[in-house]
Amino acid sequence: MDVYLQKLAERLRVILGANLVGVYLQGSGAQKDYKNGKSDIDVITVVNDSIPDNQKDLLALELSHNKLPVPAAGLDLMIVTINTARNPTPNPEYEFWFATGKTWQTEVDRKGQTSEVLIFLATCAEQAETVYGLASKQVFTPVPYEMLLKTLIDILEWHRKKILDHFHDPLGQYSVLNASRAWMYADEKILGSKSKGGQWVLEREPKNDLVRNALSIREGRNAVAPQSSDIDAFLLKVLEICRSKLSV
């Protein structure tokens, strides 16, 4: 992965020039939770100012899997301005959102805003690997607790609509482990990896077979999907815990 990240950073440097602030690996790759063949490569790129359309066209071309093969399930790359990275809002803007991979359909979103960006910003503020540029601690500001918790609640509600979805979560482990780390964040104010969240739940509930099974699937030791009703019940339980932490 290191060689790929350096090639990726080099292409970003060539295209973005002096506008580039830094390139950061986040998600499972930075949290030491990367699983070969299953995890994707999550990258946030930070720029000083907005990106012109011609550069976005060039990025979509030069970063595609056909041009720069991704040695993972896929590449999920987002570009934000340094103002967004340093001043989190409930619905942050992004300049460019790009996904590509051998089995992924290449997707290009040229500009937008969504609360989901907060997850990436918070992960980078807590734990990111600087591939190029300014150190992550100089760029990313921690996301306020309730702002991020509301985003995690939204994500769990989304998971309730995608339980055992063939594309997003065929075996249910993502729903269960994202709920686990949301619970850990609600109680501990730590946004850890999916695996860390699952392990955290098992320390409190050693007989939680749903979480244990999800961790086994993530480790490649089990491929049996649980009942959708069990997953939904766990999601509802964690949603109640998360909502109870919000101020009235």
Residue-level pLDDT at 29: 59
Say yes or no to pLDDT of 44 above 90.
yes
Nearest C-alpha neighbor of 144 from the set 96, 92, 199:
92
Cα of 195 vs its chain's centroid, Å: 13
pTM: 0.89
User: From residue 120, how far is each of 13, 151, 152, 237 by CA, in Å?
Assistant: 21, 11, 12, 24
Question: Is the predicted pLDDT of residue 30 greater than 90, yes or no?
Answer: no
Which residues are bridge partners to 113 per DSSP? 93
What would the pLDDT profile of 138-165 be if each residue is shown by its tens digit?
Answer: 999 999 999 999 999 999 999 999 999 9
Where do we find the tokens 């690997």? Answer: 129
| Structural contact between residues 82 and 46, judged by C-beta atoms closer than 8 angstroms | yes
Statement: residue 31 has pLDDT above 80: no
Under 8 Å between Cβ of 199 and 211: no
Distant-in-sequence, close-in-space partners of 138: CB < 8 Å, separation ≥ 6:
none
**Is the pLDDT reported for residue 224 higher than 90?**
no
Task: Report how far Cα 111 is from the mean position of its chain's Cα atoms.
Answer: 18
The span from the CA of 210 to the CA of 220, in Å, is 15
What span, in angstroms and rounded, lies between the C-alpha atoms of 102 and 139? Answer: 31
Digit-coded pLDDT (tens) for 173-217: 999 999 999 999 999 999 988 999 999 999 999 999 999 999 999
Helix/strand/coil for 142? coil
pLDDT reported for residue 102: 86
What are residue 8's phi and psi, to 5 degrees?
Answer: -65, -45
What mean pLDDT do residues 96-115 have? 92
How many CB atoms sit inside 10 A of residue 51's CB? Answer: 20
What's the CA gap between 102 and 125, in Å, rounded?
Answer: 30
- Of the pLDDT bands very low, low, confident and very high (cuts 50, 70, 90), residue 40 is confident
Residue whose tokens read 């964690």: 238
Q: What mean pLDDT is reported for the chain?
A: 92
pLDDT band of 80, cuts 50, 70, 90? very high
Nearest to 222 by CA among 198, 193, 191: 198
* Strand 41-47 relative to strand 75-81, pairing: parallel
Q: CA-to-CA distance for 176 and 195, rounded, in angstroms?
A: 10
Reply yes or no on whether the pLDDT at 34 is more than 70.
Answer: no
Q: Name, of 73-77, 123-127, 150-154, the range with top average pLDDT.
A: 150-154
